[in-house]
Amino acid sequence: MREITIPIADETIRSLKAGDTVALTGVMMTGRDAVHKWLMDTFINKTRQPQGDDLEVYEAIKKILDHGVLYHCGPVVSGIDTGDYKFVAAGPTTSIREEPYEAAVIKHFNIKGVIGKGGMGPNTLKACQEAPAVYFHAVGGAASLIAQSVQRVLGVYKLEFGVPEAMWVIEVKAFPVIVTMDSHGNSLHKSVLESSQARYRELIGA
């Protein structure tokens, strides 16, 4: 298991290979469906004008995401009423929903790692080769366990998207992940898809 701290240098990313187990330490941010759409529409494609605190939030997250990590996660958080936030359950959500956006988001913010589950598609794999960046797979549903690696909740942006969809800024220690898409074009998801396809064809007699 390799211990890696965030922010992550390009050379560190290039040294990672699909299959490597990693323990991540540092500050990261959550972001899923609503966030990706908001980023794409407001700052990348610019099909919508920034409103309210959009620009302020943008400036703040730019710093977190530069050489940083984005975590596809909709956590269970206690203390919503008091503001004394604690992560109670925080496993990954299925990443493939963000495939239409991720390559652009990785490049725009210079993100080095995307954490999620189930892998991502060819556009993201290509962006990982170019950026460079990697996809880190966290165990789906290991919610209580992963919440334990969150030392502190530093803050939250866009809580109006709802608790699952907001941008939670968290400090983590030894967050366990597996590199399943590296910066050299290798994807464990692609290889499992291919081998399972061959066996599937055999079974149904295609």
Partner 1 sequence: MQPDLTQELLELVRLTATSLPADVEQTIAAARDKEDAGSVARSVLDTILQNVQMAREHSTPICQDTGTPIFYVDIPAGWSTREFRRQIEAAVAEATRRVYLRPNAVNSLTGKNTGNNLGDEYFPTVHFHEVDGDTVTVRLMLKGGGSENVSTQYKLPDTRLHAGRDLEGVYKVVMDAVYQAQGKGCAPGFLGVGIGGDRGSSFYAAKEALWRTLDEPNPDPELDALERRITEDANKLGIGPMGLGGKTTVMATRIKAIHRLPACYFVSIAYMCWAYRRHTMIYRNGQVEYK
| Binding flag, residue 12, partner 1 (CB under 8 A) | no
Of 195, 163, 10, 180, whose CA–CA distance to 88 is shortest?
A: 163
- In whole angstroms, the minimum distance from the beta carbon of 67 to partner 1 comes to 26
- Of 45 and 196, CB closest to partner 1: 196
Q: Are 137 and 120 in contact (CB under 8 A)?
A: no
Among 22, 147, 150, 153, binds partner 1 (CB under 8 A): 147
Type of residue at 194: E
For residue 88, give every residue at least 6 positions away whose Cβ sits within 8 Å of its Cβ, in sequence order, or none.
75, 76, 77, 78, 144, 147
Give the rounded distance of the alpha carbon of 146 from its chain centre: 14
- In whole angstroms, the minimum distance from the beta carbon of 145 to partner 1 comes to 4
Among 98, 102, 165, 182, binds partner 1 (CB under 8 A): 165
| Binding flag, residue 75, partner 1 (CB under 8 A) | yes
Residues 184, 16: Cα–Cα separation, whole Å: 9
- In whole angstroms, the minimum distance from the beta carbon of 10 to partner 1 comes to 26
Residues known to be catalytic:
36
- Of 63 and 201, CB closest to partner 1: 201
- Of 67 and 167, CB closest to partner 1: 167
Tell me which residues touch partner 1 (CB under 8 A).
19, 21, 34, 73-78, 80, 88-91, 93-94, 96-97, 117-119, 137, 139-145, 147-148, 161-165, 176, 178, 180, 188-189, 191-193, 195-197, 199-200, 203-204, 206
